[in-house]
Amino acid sequence: MSGEGSAGRALWLWLLAGSASTGIALLVVFAVAVAVLDASFNGCQEGSGSAPVSSGPTPSAYASQSVAAERLRLFQEAGSRFDIDWSFLASIGAQECSSGDCAGVNSAGCAGPMQIAYVRGSECSPGSGPTLWERYAVNADPGHPLSVNDQADAIFTAARILREDMGAPPTGGTFAEYRQAACRYYGACGDASVSYAEEVMARAVQYGFTGSGAPAASSPTLAELVSDGCTAGPPAPGPVSTSQIVRIAESQIGQGEHPPGSECTIYGPCEEWCSLFASWVWIKAGIPLAASTAAYGYSGSLYTWTKEHDGRVLAASATPAPGDLVFYGTAPGPGESKHVGVVQRVFTDGRITTIEGDYAGHVTLVGPFLPSRPIGERAPIYGYAQPPAGSKPA
C-alpha cells in the first residue's frame, strides 16, 4: 500500500505541473483507477477483511446457521494457523460448550469454552505436572490478557492441543484419523452417557467435513454449501418449519450440565431441564412462547400451552411429525407428565428418533424406537404437541 500511496502523490504533482487540459484528462484516468482499486480492496474478493482465512472446507448452511459468525471465524482462523480441519475443531467446540458461553472451572478441573484441562491434580489433569493449558496456551490476541475463558484463546489453544498432543491430522486428514483425535480429547470414544466421538464426527460432517471415509451428511438440505455471493441476504420470514425446529435441536446434541451433575445448563434455571430444553428449541425456532424458558420448567406446561394457543395435541397412538414435542407420563394428559423431548425423525415402519434434554445429563439423540416401547424413559408416551400454524421465525 505504501508504494501505491507514493505513486498517487507523484501523479498529483505531475498533474499540477502540467497543462490544464492534460491534467483534466489524466484526472479522469486517475479517478477510474482509484475506483477500481477501491472495489478490489472493499469487495468480496479473497483477501478482503470480510473473508476469513481458512484451509478447510467451505462452511455449509448448517454451520453458518448454527455457529455464531464471530465464533465460526475463530474456528476457521485457528484451523488455518494450526493446519487442522476447522469443521472438526468447531464440532469439538459445540460438543464441549454448545454456543461457547461456558466460563470458569468445572468440578473436574477443565475450564472455558473448549473445556481445557486447567487444574493440576484434577480429574481433567491427574498428577502434579503442568496441565494442557499450561503447556499449550495460545494468546490469539497479544493485545489482550491470556485467558482460558476467552473465546479466541480457548479455540486457538484447543487447535494446538489437538494437533500437537492429541494426534489430529493436518487439514485433509481422514475421517478415522479425526475420530481418533476426538476420542483422545474426551479421554475415551464415549461412555454410558454420550457417544462423544460419533457425535463430534457426525456434526463435523454437517458443518462441511469431507475427509476420506466421511459419510454423507444426514440432512443434505442443511448441508448445502453457502453461496460466495456478496449480496445474498437472509431468507424472508415465513411460517416455522419442522426442519427449523429439528435443526436447532440437532445443533445442541452433546450439550450438558456445567459442572456435570449440577443440573445447570444454558437453557434456564439449575433444575431438571428436559422441558427447559424443549421450550428453548421452540423459542429459538420462533414459536411465541414466553421469552424465558423458566415458565416451562414442568414438562406438562408445554402440552397445556399448545392446547391454549391453537396448537394441536395428539394422542399417543397418533403419528407425530418431526419438530413435534413428545411427552412421557403415567396418565393420559399433562397432570402426571414426567419428561419431554423433540421428535427428530419418523420412519415408515412407525419408529421414531427423538432429541431429548436431561437424558443422562446431556442433550441426547435417542432411538430409533417404537413409540409403544420407549428407550430408557421414565414413563410411556402420553401424547404429542404440534406448534400453532403460522408461527413466525424469531
Report the alpha-carbon distance of residue 200 to residue 189 in Å, rounded.
10
| Cα 347 from Cα 7, distance rounded (Å) | 68
Q: Would you say residue 256 has pLDDT above 50? A: yes
Is 52 a residue whose pLDDT tops 50?
no
- Confidence class for position 47, pLDDT limits 50, 70, 90: very low
In this structure, the number of other CB atoms found within 10 A of the CB of residue 121 comes to: 12
pLDDT for the residue 324: 94
The set of cell numbers assigned to 222 is 442443511
Residue 257 maps to a domain: yes
Question: Residue 363: pLDDT above 60?
Answer: yes
**Region of residue 361 (phi > 0: left; psi between -120 and 50: alpha; otherwise: beta):** left
Cell, residue 90 = 468447531
Task: State whether 271 and 169 are in the same domain.
Answer: no
Q: Using DSSP, state whether 29 is helix, strand or coil.
A: helix
CA distances from 27 to 7, 35, 36, 216, 239 (A): 14, 12, 14, 56, 54
CATH no. for residue 267? 3.90.1720
| Per-residue model confidence (pLDDT) at position 266 | 84
Residue-averaged pLDDT of the chain = 79
If pLDDT is split at 50, 70 and 90, which confidence band does 386 have? very high
pLDDT tens track for 109-167: 999 999 999 999 999 999 999 999 999 999 999 889 999 999 999 999 999 999 999 99
Does 208 reside within a domain? yes
Count how many domains the chain has. 3
382 with 332: CB under 8 angstroms?
Answer: yes
How many angstroms separate the Cα of 139 from the Cα of each of 3, 112, 135, 150? 32, 14, 12, 9
Q: Which domain holds residue 14?
A: 2-41
Whether residue 154 is contained in a domain is answered as yes
Q: Does 255 fall in a domain?
A: yes
Is the model's pLDDT at 369 over the cut of 60? yes
Is residue 236 in a domain? no
Whether 321 and 244 have beta carbons less than 8 Å apart is answered as: no
Does residue 56 fall inside a structural domain? no
Average pLDDT over residues 210-231: 62
Alpha helices (H) in the chain, listed in sequence order: 2-17, 20-42, 61-66, 69-82, 86-97, 132-136, 151-164, 175-186, 196-207, 242-250, 274-284, 300-308
